[in-house]
Amino acid sequence: MSEAPALTQIQPALLSEVAPVPSNRMTRIAVPIAIVLVVLMMVVPLPAALLDILIALNIGISLIVLLVALQVQRVLDFAIFPTIVLVATIFRLALNVSSTRLVLRDGFAGHVIDAFGHIVIGANLIIGLVIFAILIIIQLTVVTNGASRVAEVGARFTLDAMPGKQMAIDADLNSGLIDEDTARQRRKDVAAEADFYGAMDGGTKFVKGDAMAAVIITMVNLVGGFAIGMLQNSLSASESIQKYALLSVGDGLVSQIPALLMSVATGVIVTRSTGAGDVGSDLIQQLGRHRQALMIGAGSLLALCLVPGMPKLPFLIVGGLVLFVAYRSTDAHGDDMAAEAAAQSGAIAMPSGQVQLPAGGGTGDPVTDSLRVDPLELLLSPDAVDLVDAARGGDLLDRVRALRRKTALDLGLVLPPVRTRDGAMLAPGTYEIRIGGSSVATGEAPPGHLLAIGDSMDSLPGRHTTEPVFGLPAVWVPIEYRASAELAGATIVERAAVVTTHLAEMVRQNASRLLSLDDTRDLLEVLKNDRPAAVEELVPSVLPLAAVQRLLQALLDEQVSIRDLGRVLEGVGQRARSTSDPDALLEAARAALGPALAAHYVRDGVLRAITLEPAVETQIGEALRAGEQGVVIALDPVQAQRLVSDISALQTTAEQRGELPVLLISGPLRLPMRRLLRGSLPQLPVIAFTEATGIHQIETVGQVSSSHEFAA
C-alpha cells in the first residue's frame, strides 16, 4: 500500500517527459521536409492556385519576421534569424522560378501576381515600370547595402571586443557583483553574439543577391514574354508588351515586397543595441528624455508658418503634435528620478546635480562623530563621485554590496559597511582605501576614461599607468577611443570595476584586521543556532572570545576561509584543553579543515607545487628557534634572502606558464616558512604534506635545491 502514492507521483512526471517527444520529433522532420520541397519547387511545375497560396505565405512570413525583429530586446533573442534569411531567400527564388514558368508558358501566373501588376501599372505602363524600378533601387542600394555594411562592421567589432567583454565579466565576478553561473551564462552570450554577427555578415549577402536576382528575373520575364507573345502567340508588339509587362511587374512585386520586408528586418536586427524594451518602447522613451530638443523642434515647425507663401496647416498640425509630445515627455522629472536613485544608493542628491556622500552612522553630535573610526572606508575625489551616482549611471555602490556578499561566501567574513566618502583633499580622479582609519591603498579612476590593459599600448592616446592589483601595464584612454583600444587587443575595464577589484584585493589582504571582537561574537551566535554544542563546550569555558578572535585572524592571515567555523572549533577543542599556544591551535584548526585547504588550489584535478629538497628542509629545521612571535627560521639574512629569491623565481616561472603553485613542505616547517615568506611572497600559499593527503595528483613545478648552503 505504501508504494501506491509513490507510483502516482512518478507516473505524471514520466508522462510530462514523454508527451513532448512526438511534437519535437515532428518539428525536426517537418523543417527538413519543407526545405526539400522548396528545392523541388524549382523543378516541378506548380498550379496557379497553389502558387497564390505560397506567395501569400511568403508575404506573411516576411511580415511576421519584421514584427518579431521590432519586438526583440536583444539580438540573441532572435538568434535563428540568419537561418530564416537563408531559407526565406531560397523560398522566394523557388517562387520566382515557378511563376516565371507559368508566365512564359500560360501567360497567367495566378490572381495574386495579376492583382499586383494591375495595382502598380494601372493604365500607364511607363509609370508602373518606373515605380517598380524605384522599389528595386530602394531595396538594392539603400536598405540591403546599408544592412550588409552594418553587419560586416558589427561582426568585426564584436569579435574584436570579445576579450574586453570577457575581462569585464571576470572583473564583475571577482568583485562579487555576479556569481559563477551568471558569469558562465554571460560568457556564452558573448560567444553567441560574435557567432550571430558573423552569421549575419554572411546572411546579408543572401539578401543582397536576392535583390539583384529579382532584377535579372524581371528583365528575363519582360524580354522572354515579349518574344513569346509575338512569335508564338501571334500578339502585336503593344499587346505583348502590355500583357507580359503586367505579369513581369506583378511577379517582381510579389517577390520584392517580402524581400524588402526581410531587408528591413535585417537592418533592424544588425543595428539593434541592447535596450530595456523593444524598438518602439525605446524610441518613445529615449526621445521623451530630451524635452528641450522637442520644444525647439516644435517651435521651429510652428515658425515656418510665418514664412510668406508657406502652407500653414501641415506645419501647424505637425508642430502641434511635437509640442504635445514634448509636454508629455518625462524629462521634467529627471531631477526627481536622480534624487530617488541617489537616495537608494546611499547618497544625497544636491540641487546642483552634485552628490554629497553620507558620513554614515553618526550620532548627531559632531564631537562624538569625530571620535568614530570606520573599519572600512572608500574616499573618492569630487570629480569621481559620479561612480556612486545612480542617476549618472554609477553602479559602484551596487558592486560594493555585491563584494560584501562575495567576501562572506569566500572567506566567511561579514564585512562591515563600506563608508563611501567625499575626499575633498584627494587629487582629481583618484580614490583612497582606508582600513581602521589608516590608508592602505590609493588609485585613480579619471572620469571619462577606461582602463586599457595590454602589452603594446604605446599607440593608444592617454596616460600610461599600472593596473593596481596585478601590476600589469595599462593606459587610461578616453571613452571615445574604446573601439581603437579593443582593435589594438587591449582588455577594457570600467572605472567602477577597477575600484571594486582594488577594494576586493585590499579586503582580502587585510581580512584579519577587519574581524573585530564583536564580529567574532556575532559569528558564534549564528553558529550556535545550528550547532550549539560546538560553541557551548568551547567558548568561553575553554577558549575566551579573544582567543577565538586571534585564531580566526590567524586563519584569515593565511587566506583560509573561516566559513566552516563549526569544524574549526571542533578541531581546536581537544587541543585547547591541553595548551593555549596560538601556533598549536592554528595548526589544529588547519588539520581539522584538512584537504579542503589544498583543494582550493587544485586546477584541473592537479595540485601544482614547489618543493624543497630533503637536505634543504633538514638545514631549515636545524635553524628553527622559538621567539615571542612563535617559532621562526633563524637564518643568516643573506641566506634567508637567497632562499626567498629561489622560491620567488620558481613561483614566477610557474605563473608565466599560467600555473598557480603552492609551496608544499613538511608540517613542522609550514608555519615558520609562512612567517618567513609573508613579507616578500604574501600570495604564495604554504601547504603541509599532511594537508594534501586527499589530493590524487600532485605535480612538482620546481624544487629548491641544496646548491646553496643555508647556515643558521
State whether 60 and 142 are in the same domain.
Answer: yes
State whether 547 and 611 are in the same domain.
Answer: no
State whether 76 and 24 are in the same domain.
Answer: no
Q: What is the pLDDT of residue 591?
A: 87
Q: What is the pLDDT of residues 33-50, one digit of tens each?
A: 877 887 777 777 778 888
Contact 452, 438 (CB under 8 A): no
State whether 641 and 692 are in the same domain.
Answer: yes
Residue 360's pLDDT band, with cuts at 50, 70 and 90, is: very low
Q: Which residue, of 275, 299, 316, is where some domain finishes?
A: 275
* Average of per-residue pLDDT across 466-472: 85
Domain harbouring 478, CATH code: 3.40.30.60
Residue 363 lies in a domain: no
Q: What is the pLDDT of residues 187-230, one digit of tens each?
A: 888 777 777 777 776 767 777 777 777 777 777 777 777 777 77
State whether 574 and 625 are in the same domain.
Answer: no
- The structural domain count of the chain equals 6
Q: Which residue, of 298, 329, 360, is where some domain finishes?
A: 329
| Per-residue CA distances from 283 to 68, 218, 295 (Å) | 16, 38, 17
Comparison of pLDDT for 231 and 571, the residue scoring more: 571
Query: Which among 162, 144, 134 has a CA at the least distance from the CA of 212?
Result: 144
Q: Which residue, of 563, 593, 623, is where some domain finishes?
A: 593
Q: Which of 143-147, 216-220, 491-495, 693-697 has the highest mean pLDDT?
A: 491-495
State whether 632 and 602 are in the same domain.
Answer: yes
State whether 299 and 391 are in the same domain.
Answer: no
Percentage of the chain lying above the pLDDT 90 cut: 10
Contact 272, 72 (CB under 8 A): yes
Q: What is the pLDDT of residue 234?
A: 67
Residue 367 lies in a domain: no
Residue 517 lies in a domain: no
Q: Is the pLDDT of residue 627 over 70?
A: yes
Q: What is the pLDDT of residue 603?
A: 85
State whether 602 and 582 are in the same domain.
Answer: no
Residue 72 lies in a domain: yes
Q: What is the pLDDT of residue 347?
A: 40
Determine the residue type at 427.
Answer: A
* Average of per-residue pLDDT across 270-283: 62
Residue 518 lies in a domain: no
Contact 326, 298 (CB under 8 A): yes
Q: What is the pLDDT of residue 353?
A: 38
State whether 27 and 62 are in the same domain.
Answer: no
Q: What is the pLDDT of residue 358?
A: 43
Q: At what angle do helices 125-137 and 237-270 cross, to 10 degrees?
A: 20
C-alpha cell at 206: 543572401
State whether 407 and 473 are in the same domain.
Answer: yes
Domain harbouring 652, CATH code: 3.40.50.12790
Q: Is the pLDDT of residue 526 over 50?
A: yes
Q: What is the pLDDT of residues 73-106, one digit of tens each?
A: 777 777 788 888 788 888 888 887 887 777 777 7
Residue 338 lies in a domain: no
The 10 Å CB-count burial string (b at 16+, else e) for 261-287 is bbbbbbbbbbebeeeeeebeeeeeeee
Q: What is the pLDDT of residues 105-117, one digit of tens each?
A: 777 777 787 777 7
Determine the residue type at 144.
Answer: T
Q: What is the pLDDT of residue 661?
A: 92
State whether 484 and 545 are in the same domain.
Answer: no
Q: What is the pLDDT of residues 431-449, one digit of tens each?
A: 999 998 899 999 999 999 9
Q: Is the pLDDT of residue 22 over 70?
A: no
Residue 359 lies in a domain: no
Domain region containing 317: 290-329
Q: Which of the 8 DSSP states describes residue 607?
A: E
Residue 358 lies in a domain: no
State whether 88 and 227 are in the same domain.
Answer: yes
Q: What is the pLDDT of residue 443?
A: 92
Contact 259, 139 (CB under 8 A): yes
Q: What is the pLDDT of residue 379?
A: 92
Instruction: List the Cα angle 170/175/180 in 5-degree steps.
Output: 55
